Amino acid sequence: MRKPVSLLLIVTLLASVAVFLSACQGQTPPAAEKEAEGKPLTIVTSFYPMYIATINITKDVPGVKVINMTKPVTGCLHDYQFTPEDLKTLSEAQIFVINGAGMEAFMDKVVSQLPELKIVDASKDIPLITGDGEEGDNPHLWVSISNAIQQEKNIGMQLATLDPDHADQYSANATTYVGKLEELRAKMHQALDGVEKRDIITFHEAFPYFASEFNLNITAVIEREPGSEPSAAELSDTIQIIKKSGINALFTEPQYSARAAETIANETGAKVFILDPVVSGPMELDAYLNIMERNMKTLEEALK
Protein backbone atom coordinates (compact mmCIF):
# COMPACT_ATOMS: atom_id res chain seq x y z
CA MET A 1 0.00 0.00 0.00
CA ARG A 2 1.15 3.55 -0.62
CA LYS A 3 2.36 5.53 2.35
CA PRO A 4 -0.09 8.34 3.16
CA VAL A 5 1.01 11.95 3.01
CA SER A 6 1.37 13.31 6.55
CA LEU A 7 -1.59 15.28 7.90
CA LEU A 8 0.65 18.22 8.77
CA LEU A 9 2.01 18.38 5.22
CA ILE A 10 -1.50 18.26 3.73
CA VAL A 11 -2.70 21.07 6.02
CA THR A 12 0.34 23.19 5.20
CA LEU A 13 -0.04 22.65 1.47
CA LEU A 14 -3.77 23.36 1.47
CA ALA A 15 -3.20 26.53 3.42
CA SER A 16 -0.62 27.57 0.82
CA VAL A 17 -3.11 26.82 -1.96
CA ALA A 18 -5.76 28.96 -0.26
CA VAL A 19 -3.35 31.88 0.02
CA PHE A 20 -2.35 31.49 -3.63
CA LEU A 21 -5.95 31.34 -4.84
CA SER A 22 -6.90 34.35 -2.76
CA ALA A 23 -4.04 36.35 -4.25
CA CYS A 24 -4.68 35.23 -7.83
CA GLN A 25 -8.45 34.95 -7.94
CA GLY A 26 -9.74 36.02 -11.31
CA GLN A 27 -6.21 36.29 -12.76
CA THR A 28 -5.85 32.84 -14.36
CA PRO A 29 -7.10 33.15 -17.95
CA PRO A 30 -7.98 30.13 -20.11
CA ALA A 31 -5.65 28.74 -22.79
CA ALA A 32 -6.84 31.11 -25.51
CA GLU A 33 -6.27 34.17 -23.33
CA LYS A 34 -2.83 32.92 -22.38
CA GLU A 35 -1.90 32.77 -26.06
CA ALA A 36 -3.41 36.20 -26.69
CA GLU A 37 -1.23 37.59 -23.92
CA GLY A 38 1.84 35.97 -25.46
CA LYS A 39 2.19 33.67 -22.46
CA PRO A 40 2.69 29.93 -22.87
CA LEU A 41 0.00 27.37 -22.16
CA THR A 42 1.64 25.47 -19.32
CA ILE A 43 0.98 21.73 -19.10
CA VAL A 44 2.29 19.86 -16.06
CA THR A 45 2.68 16.07 -16.07
CA SER A 46 2.60 13.99 -12.91
CA PHE A 47 5.64 11.80 -13.63
CA TYR A 48 8.01 10.49 -16.26
CA PRO A 49 5.86 8.27 -18.54
CA MET A 50 3.17 10.96 -18.73
CA TYR A 51 5.83 13.53 -19.62
CA ILE A 52 7.18 11.43 -22.51
CA ALA A 53 3.66 10.81 -23.82
CA THR A 54 2.75 14.50 -23.59
CA ILE A 55 5.86 15.96 -25.23
CA ASN A 56 5.19 13.72 -28.23
CA ILE A 57 1.67 15.13 -28.54
CA THR A 58 2.72 18.75 -28.03
CA LYS A 59 5.78 18.55 -30.30
CA ASP A 60 6.18 21.81 -32.26
CA VAL A 61 2.82 23.17 -31.04
CA PRO A 62 3.41 26.93 -30.59
CA GLY A 63 2.89 28.55 -27.24
CA VAL A 64 2.82 25.30 -25.25
CA LYS A 65 5.23 24.48 -22.44
CA VAL A 66 5.36 21.02 -20.80
CA ILE A 67 6.84 20.61 -17.31
CA ASN A 68 7.24 17.37 -15.38
CA MET A 69 6.22 17.86 -11.75
CA THR A 70 8.44 15.14 -10.29
CA LYS A 71 12.13 14.64 -10.92
CA PRO A 72 12.92 12.24 -13.79
CA VAL A 73 14.65 9.88 -11.34
CA THR A 74 11.65 9.63 -9.01
CA GLY A 75 10.30 6.35 -10.38
CA CYS A 76 6.77 5.22 -9.56
CA LEU A 77 4.71 7.50 -7.32
CA HIS A 78 3.96 4.83 -4.69
CA ASP A 79 5.66 6.66 -1.83
CA TYR A 80 6.04 10.09 -3.36
CA GLN A 81 5.72 13.03 -0.97
CA PHE A 82 4.12 16.15 -2.47
CA THR A 83 6.28 19.25 -1.88
CA PRO A 84 5.76 23.02 -1.76
CA GLU A 85 7.79 23.22 -4.99
CA ASP A 86 5.26 20.87 -6.62
CA LEU A 87 2.47 23.13 -5.42
CA LYS A 88 4.11 26.14 -7.03
CA THR A 89 4.53 24.21 -10.30
CA LEU A 90 0.87 23.17 -10.35
CA SER A 91 -0.36 26.63 -9.37
CA GLU A 92 1.28 28.09 -12.48
CA ALA A 93 -0.22 25.48 -14.84
CA GLN A 94 -3.49 25.41 -16.76
CA ILE A 95 -3.52 21.65 -17.49
CA PHE A 96 -2.35 18.67 -15.41
CA VAL A 97 -1.79 15.35 -17.22
CA ILE A 98 -2.08 12.32 -14.95
CA ASN A 99 -1.83 8.58 -15.42
CA GLY A 100 -4.99 8.05 -13.37
CA ALA A 101 -6.16 4.63 -12.11
CA GLY A 102 -5.23 5.74 -8.59
CA MET A 103 -1.56 6.47 -9.26
CA GLU A 104 -1.90 10.12 -8.20
CA ALA A 105 -4.54 9.59 -5.49
CA PHE A 106 -2.23 11.18 -2.90
CA MET A 107 -2.77 14.52 -4.65
CA ASP A 108 -6.57 14.56 -4.70
CA LYS A 109 -6.98 17.00 -1.79
CA VAL A 110 -4.45 19.45 -3.21
CA VAL A 111 -5.79 19.37 -6.77
CA SER A 112 -9.34 19.90 -5.51
CA GLN A 113 -8.18 23.28 -4.20
CA LEU A 114 -7.15 24.38 -7.72
CA PRO A 115 -10.52 24.64 -9.48
CA GLU A 116 -9.08 26.34 -12.58
CA LEU A 117 -6.64 23.49 -13.19
CA LYS A 118 -7.90 21.17 -15.95
CA ILE A 119 -7.16 17.46 -15.50
CA VAL A 120 -6.25 15.19 -18.41
CA ASP A 121 -6.73 11.58 -17.31
CA ALA A 122 -4.76 9.16 -19.49
CA SER A 123 -6.49 6.07 -18.01
CA LYS A 124 -9.90 6.83 -19.53
CA ASP A 125 -11.71 3.69 -20.78
CA ILE A 126 -8.74 1.37 -20.10
CA PRO A 127 -9.76 -1.86 -18.26
CA LEU A 128 -7.90 -2.16 -14.96
CA ILE A 129 -6.35 -5.19 -13.29
CA THR A 130 -7.69 -5.52 -9.76
CA GLY A 131 -5.15 -6.17 -7.01
CA ASP A 132 -5.40 -8.70 -4.20
CA GLY A 133 -6.96 -7.75 -0.88
CA GLU A 134 -6.56 -4.05 -0.16
CA GLU A 135 -4.10 -3.42 -2.99
CA GLY A 136 -6.68 -1.77 -5.23
CA ASP A 137 -6.47 -1.49 -9.00
CA ASN A 138 -3.05 -1.79 -10.59
CA PRO A 139 -2.14 1.65 -12.01
CA HIS A 140 0.90 0.65 -14.13
CA LEU A 141 -1.00 1.00 -17.40
CA TRP A 142 1.77 2.48 -19.57
CA VAL A 143 3.99 -0.63 -19.21
CA SER A 144 1.69 -2.34 -21.72
CA ILE A 145 2.32 -0.92 -25.18
CA SER A 146 -1.36 -1.33 -26.10
CA ASN A 147 -2.32 0.69 -23.02
CA ALA A 148 0.36 3.27 -23.83
CA ILE A 149 -1.24 3.64 -27.26
CA GLN A 150 -4.65 4.24 -25.69
CA GLN A 151 -3.16 6.67 -23.18
CA GLU A 152 -1.56 8.62 -26.03
CA LYS A 153 -4.92 8.82 -27.80
CA ASN A 154 -6.64 9.88 -24.56
CA ILE A 155 -4.15 12.66 -23.90
CA GLY A 156 -4.34 13.87 -27.49
CA MET A 157 -8.14 14.01 -27.55
CA GLN A 158 -8.41 15.75 -24.18
CA LEU A 159 -5.75 18.33 -25.03
CA ALA A 160 -7.53 19.02 -28.32
CA THR A 161 -10.73 19.71 -26.38
CA LEU A 162 -9.02 22.00 -23.87
CA ASP A 163 -6.97 23.85 -26.49
CA PRO A 164 -9.11 23.71 -29.67
CA ASP A 165 -6.96 26.26 -31.53
CA HIS A 166 -4.26 23.59 -31.79
CA ALA A 167 -6.51 20.53 -32.02
CA ASP A 168 -5.28 19.54 -35.48
CA GLN A 169 -1.66 19.61 -34.37
CA TYR A 170 -2.33 17.53 -31.27
CA SER A 171 -4.23 15.02 -33.39
CA ALA A 172 -1.49 14.81 -36.03
CA ASN A 173 1.25 14.37 -33.41
CA ALA A 174 -0.74 11.70 -31.60
CA THR A 175 -1.29 9.82 -34.85
CA THR A 176 2.44 9.94 -35.66
CA TYR A 177 3.53 8.70 -32.24
CA VAL A 178 0.83 6.04 -32.08
CA GLY A 179 2.14 4.75 -35.41
CA LYS A 180 5.61 4.36 -33.87
CA LEU A 181 4.15 2.57 -30.85
CA GLU A 182 2.15 0.21 -33.06
CA GLU A 183 5.26 -0.58 -35.10
CA LEU A 184 7.19 -1.41 -31.93
CA ARG A 185 4.30 -3.50 -30.58
CA ALA A 186 4.32 -5.61 -33.74
CA LYS A 187 8.11 -6.01 -33.50
CA MET A 188 7.87 -7.11 -29.87
CA HIS A 189 5.13 -9.63 -30.59
CA GLN A 190 7.22 -11.06 -33.40
CA ALA A 191 10.16 -11.43 -30.99
CA LEU A 192 8.29 -12.71 -27.92
CA ASP A 193 5.26 -14.65 -29.09
CA GLY A 194 7.40 -17.68 -29.92
CA VAL A 195 9.49 -17.92 -26.75
CA GLU A 196 9.17 -21.28 -25.02
CA LYS A 197 9.58 -20.07 -21.44
CA ARG A 198 6.61 -18.04 -20.20
CA ASP A 199 7.07 -17.98 -16.40
CA ILE A 200 8.80 -14.92 -14.97
CA ILE A 201 9.55 -13.47 -11.54
CA THR A 202 9.48 -9.68 -11.33
CA PHE A 203 10.65 -7.11 -8.84
CA HIS A 204 7.33 -5.42 -8.05
CA GLU A 205 3.78 -5.13 -9.37
CA ALA A 206 4.69 -3.02 -12.40
CA PHE A 207 4.39 -5.72 -15.06
CA PRO A 208 0.94 -7.42 -14.98
CA TYR A 209 -0.34 -5.41 -17.97
CA PHE A 210 2.87 -6.12 -19.88
CA ALA A 211 2.70 -9.82 -19.01
CA SER A 212 -0.93 -10.00 -20.11
CA GLU A 213 -0.11 -8.40 -23.45
CA PHE A 214 2.69 -10.83 -24.23
CA ASN A 215 1.15 -13.92 -22.61
CA LEU A 216 3.73 -14.19 -19.83
CA ASN A 217 3.00 -15.70 -16.43
CA ILE A 218 4.22 -13.83 -13.34
CA THR A 219 4.73 -16.64 -10.83
CA ALA A 220 6.13 -14.49 -8.01
CA VAL A 221 6.86 -10.86 -7.11
CA ILE A 222 10.02 -10.24 -5.10
CA GLU A 223 8.98 -6.94 -3.50
CA ARG A 224 5.29 -6.09 -3.77
CA GLU A 225 6.11 -2.56 -2.65
CA PRO A 226 9.44 -1.28 -4.03
CA GLY A 227 11.88 -0.36 -1.31
CA SER A 228 10.29 -2.74 1.23
CA GLU A 229 12.61 -5.69 1.62
CA PRO A 230 10.87 -9.09 1.50
CA SER A 231 10.74 -11.05 4.74
CA ALA A 232 12.75 -14.22 5.25
CA ALA A 233 9.56 -16.23 4.70
CA GLU A 234 8.81 -14.42 1.44
CA LEU A 235 12.35 -15.00 0.22
CA SER A 236 12.08 -18.67 1.13
CA ASP A 237 8.77 -19.01 -0.73
CA THR A 238 10.25 -17.42 -3.85
CA ILE A 239 13.30 -19.68 -3.69
CA GLN A 240 11.05 -22.74 -3.48
CA ILE A 241 8.97 -21.56 -6.44
CA ILE A 242 12.11 -21.20 -8.53
CA LYS A 243 13.49 -24.58 -7.53
CA LYS A 244 10.21 -26.37 -8.27
CA SER A 245 9.46 -24.58 -11.53
CA GLY A 246 12.92 -24.46 -13.01
CA ILE A 247 12.70 -20.73 -13.66
CA ASN A 248 16.20 -19.47 -14.38
CA ALA A 249 15.62 -15.70 -14.75
CA LEU A 250 14.78 -12.96 -12.24
CA PHE A 251 13.86 -9.46 -13.37
CA THR A 252 14.83 -6.43 -11.30
CA GLU A 253 14.27 -2.77 -12.12
CA PRO A 254 17.00 -0.18 -12.66
CA GLN A 255 15.32 2.28 -10.27
CA TYR A 256 15.72 0.03 -7.20
CA SER A 257 18.28 -2.11 -5.40
CA ALA A 258 18.68 -5.67 -6.72
CA ARG A 259 19.86 -7.00 -3.36
CA ALA A 260 16.88 -9.29 -2.73
CA ALA A 261 17.00 -10.68 -6.27
CA GLU A 262 20.72 -11.35 -5.93
CA THR A 263 20.12 -13.23 -2.69
CA ILE A 264 17.56 -15.42 -4.44
CA ALA A 265 19.88 -15.91 -7.41
CA ASN A 266 22.69 -17.07 -5.15
CA GLU A 267 20.39 -19.69 -3.61
CA THR A 268 18.92 -20.96 -6.88
CA GLY A 269 21.44 -20.34 -9.64
CA ALA A 270 18.95 -18.14 -11.49
CA LYS A 271 20.33 -15.19 -13.44
CA VAL A 272 19.34 -11.59 -12.70
CA PHE A 273 18.15 -9.41 -15.61
CA ILE A 274 16.96 -5.81 -15.72
CA LEU A 275 13.43 -5.07 -16.93
CA ASP A 276 12.61 -1.37 -17.03
CA PRO A 277 9.04 -0.17 -16.22
CA VAL A 278 9.82 3.17 -17.90
CA VAL A 279 9.38 5.35 -14.82
CA SER A 280 12.64 7.24 -15.22
CA GLY A 281 15.09 7.98 -18.00
CA PRO A 282 16.13 10.63 -20.52
CA MET A 283 13.66 13.43 -21.18
CA GLU A 284 13.54 12.65 -24.89
CA LEU A 285 10.76 12.05 -27.41
CA ASP A 286 11.80 8.46 -28.21
CA ALA A 287 12.74 7.46 -24.65
CA TYR A 288 9.75 5.13 -24.14
CA LEU A 289 10.35 3.45 -27.49
CA ASN A 290 14.04 2.92 -26.78
CA ILE A 291 13.51 1.56 -23.27
CA MET A 292 10.80 -0.86 -24.39
CA GLU A 293 13.01 -2.12 -27.21
CA ARG A 294 15.74 -2.84 -24.67
CA ASN A 295 13.17 -4.74 -22.60
CA MET A 296 12.33 -6.80 -25.68
CA LYS A 297 15.99 -7.75 -26.18
CA THR A 298 16.37 -8.57 -22.48
CA LEU A 299 13.36 -10.88 -22.56
CA GLU A 300 14.56 -12.56 -25.75
CA GLU A 301 17.83 -13.40 -23.99
CA ALA A 302 16.27 -14.41 -20.67
CA LEU A 303 13.46 -16.60 -22.04
CA LYS A 304 15.27 -18.38 -24.86
Structural domain boundaries, residue 294: 193-303
Residues 66 and 128 in one domain: yes
The sign of the dihedral angle between the CA atoms of 276, 144, 296, 273 is positive
Number of domains the chain is built from: 2
| pLDDT value of residue 74 | 74
In a domain, 263, yes or no: yes
CATH number, residue 250? 3.40.50.1980
- State the DSSP code for 272: E
| 174 close to 57: Cβ distance less than 8 angstroms | yes
Residues 173 and 203 in one domain: no
Residues 181 and 91 in one domain: yes
Q: pLDDT 10s digit of each residue in the chain, 304 long?
A: 444 445 455 445 554 544 444 444 444 444 555 555 668 999 999 999 999 999 999 999 999 999 999 987 777 887 788 899 999 999 999 999 999 999 999 898 888 899 999 999 999 999 999 977 667 899 999 999 999 999 999 999 999 999 999 999 999 999 999 999 999 999 999 999 999 899 999 988 999 999 999 999 999 998 766 667 788 888 999 999 999 988 989 999 998 888 888 999 999 999 999 999 999 999 999 999 999 999 999 999 999 8
In a domain, 1, yes or no: no
| pLDDT value of residue 9 | 52
Residues 178 and 214 in one domain: no
| pLDDT value of residue 258 | 84
Q: Final residue of a domain: which of 128, 159, 186? A: 186
Q: Is the pTM of this model over 0.85?
A: yes
In a domain, 2, yes or no: no
Q: For residues 57 and 50, give the distance between their C-alpha atoms in angstroms, rounded to a whole number.
A: 11
